[in-house]
């Protein structure tokens, strides 16, 4: 029975890994990406004032991963735009989402059951992008783990990693939204996937590629649906992040945690207008000299000086 279940899983995962992304899954990726752009503050105004700038932003959302991963491997930045069929499909979707009369296309795709399906299909494309990025980097740098991880991460989450550049196209500058400073869930889960597939490609995971692809995709889809239905923004990695941070990065004094809250440690200096402080935060008594040879402390007690 166990062998039968194992064979079924292997066969299902193998057939799953042969699914073609074009055109249905790629179209779902473009729809979700363009909808995310439209929901950004000020994006609709940019679409009215400068359709060309809006189109450039949409292409970054749709093909940012391919552009960034290509730059990591010293490939032309415009190489992803050489696929005319994908560019035309993404451009048609961009036009319909932004400019269709009465906003009917956006309203239709924003219907929750349909949006769940589209978002799930987009997560499937994320797996394919990570796998493709890792394999592409391994073909050039077979022992370059860091290169494989970086390229797979960039290809799967390039739209998020290039968000600051995309904002500049729309005339917005928000450096505090840099994904490297505060990673969003998609960027984190893509990084985890890139590490897993790098280990698998290097024969350090006892799983076939198609099996890992199936398991990783199911994890992405289930968590995406859960977060959308519950409207939760809490990352499933939060408990692990807290443990790793406390073990590895909390020893330095004065370091703040990932949430910005101060961590326990040696107290810093405390300023007091009526006295000095030492490094342990103890306030020393300041005194005033009097002409009669006495000193008066701030607490009011008189002390005789020699």
pLDDT (tens digit per residue) in 78-98: 999 999 999 999 999 999 999
Write phi, then psi, for 182 (nearest 5 degrees).
Answer: -145, 95
**How do 287-289 and 294-297 pair as beta strands?**
antiparallel
Where is pLDDT greater, at 109 or 277?
A: 109
Alpha-carbon span 115 to 199, nearest angstrom: 33
pLDDT above 90 covers a percentage of the chain that reads 69
- pLDDT score of 127 more than 60: yes
71 class by beta-carbon count within 10 Å (0-12 exposed, 13-18 middle, 19+ buried)? middle
- The whole-model pTM stands at 0.80
pLDDT at site 253: 55
Q: Tell me the three state secondary structure of residue 142.
A: coil
Alpha-carbon span 14 to 277, nearest angstrom: 68
Alpha-carbon span 66 to 157, nearest angstrom: 9
pLDDT at site 234: 81
pLDDT at site 177: 87
Alpha-carbon span 49 to 60, nearest angstrom: 19
pLDDT at site 302: 47
**How do 302-304 and 287-289 pair as beta strands?**
unpaired
Question: Once rounded to an integer, what is the mean pLDDT over residues 188-211?
Answer: 96
Write phi, then psi, for 236 (nearest 5 degrees).
Answer: -70, -15
Alpha-carbon span 121 to 96, nearest angstrom: 19
Question: Once rounded to an integer, what is the mean pLDDT over residues 123-149?
Answer: 96
- pLDDT score of 55 more than 80: yes
Question: Once rounded to an integer, what is the mean pLDDT over residues 261-285?
Answer: 43
Alpha-carbon span 250 to 4, nearest angstrom: 48
Alpha-carbon span 5 to 247, nearest angstrom: 40
SS (H, E, C) 236-285: CCHHHHHHHHHHHCCCCCCCECCCCCECCCCCCCCCECCECECCCCCECC
Question: Once rounded to an integer, what is the mean pLDDT over residues 162-177?
Answer: 92
pLDDT at site 258: 58
pLDDT at site 233: 82
Kindly report the CA angle at 30 between 208 and 85, in degrees rounded to 5? 90
Q: Average pLDDT, whole number, for the chain? A: 85
- pLDDT score of 275 more than 60: no
Where is pLDDT greater, at 103 or 286?
A: 103
Question: Once rounded to an integer, what is the mean pLDDT over residues 123-128?
Answer: 98
Q: Determine which of 19-23, 168-172, 274-278 has the lowest per-residue pLDDT on average.
A: 274-278
pLDDT at site 279: 40
Alpha-carbon span 29 to 21, nearest angstrom: 10
pLDDT above 70 covers a percentage of the chain that reads 80
User: Residues 179-194: pLDDT tens digits?
Assistant: 999 899 999 999 999 9
Per-residue pLDDT band for 229 (boundaries 50, 70, 90) equals: very high
pLDDT at site 259: 52
Kindly report the CA angle at 144 between 143 and 150, in degrees rounded to 5? 145
């Amino acid at each position: 029975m166990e062998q039968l279940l194992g064979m079924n899983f292997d066969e299902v995962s193998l057939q799953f890994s042969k699914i073609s992304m074009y055109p249905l899954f790629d179209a779902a990726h473009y729809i979700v990406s363009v909808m995310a752009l439209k929901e950004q503050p000020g994006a609709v105004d940019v679409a009215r004032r400068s359709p060309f700038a809006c189109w450039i932003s949409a292409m970054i959302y749709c093909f940012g991963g391919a552009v960034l991963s290509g730059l990591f491997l010293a490939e032309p930045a415009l190489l992803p735009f050489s696929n005319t069929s994908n560019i035309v499909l993404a451009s048609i979707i961009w036009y319909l989402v932004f400019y269709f009369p009465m906003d009917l296309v956006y309203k239709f795709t924003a219907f929750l059951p349909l949006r769940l399906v589209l978002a799930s299909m987009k997560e499937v494309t994320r797996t394919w992008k990570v796998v493709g990025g890792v394999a592409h980097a391994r073909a050039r740098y077979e022992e370059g783990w860091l290169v494989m991880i970086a390229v797979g991460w960039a290809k799967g989450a390039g739209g998020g990693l290039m968000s600051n550049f995309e904002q500049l196209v729309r005339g917005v500058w928000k450096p505090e939204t840099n994904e490297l400073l505060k990673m969003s869930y998609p960027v984190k889960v893509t990084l985890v996937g890139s590490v897993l597939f790098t280990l698998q490609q290097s024969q350090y995971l006892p799983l076939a590629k198609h099996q890992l692809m199936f398991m990783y995709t199911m994890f992405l889809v289930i968590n995406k649906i859960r977060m959308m239905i519950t409207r939760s923004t809490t990352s499933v990695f939060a408990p692990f992040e807290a443990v790793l941070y406390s073990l590895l990065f909390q020893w330095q004094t004065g370091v703040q945690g990932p949430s910005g809250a101060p961590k326990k440690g040696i107290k810093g200096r405390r300023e007091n207008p009526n006295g000095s402080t030492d490094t342990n935060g103890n306030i020393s008594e300041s005194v005033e000299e009097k002409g009669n040879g006495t000193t008066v402390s701030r607490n009011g007690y008189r002390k005789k000086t020699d």
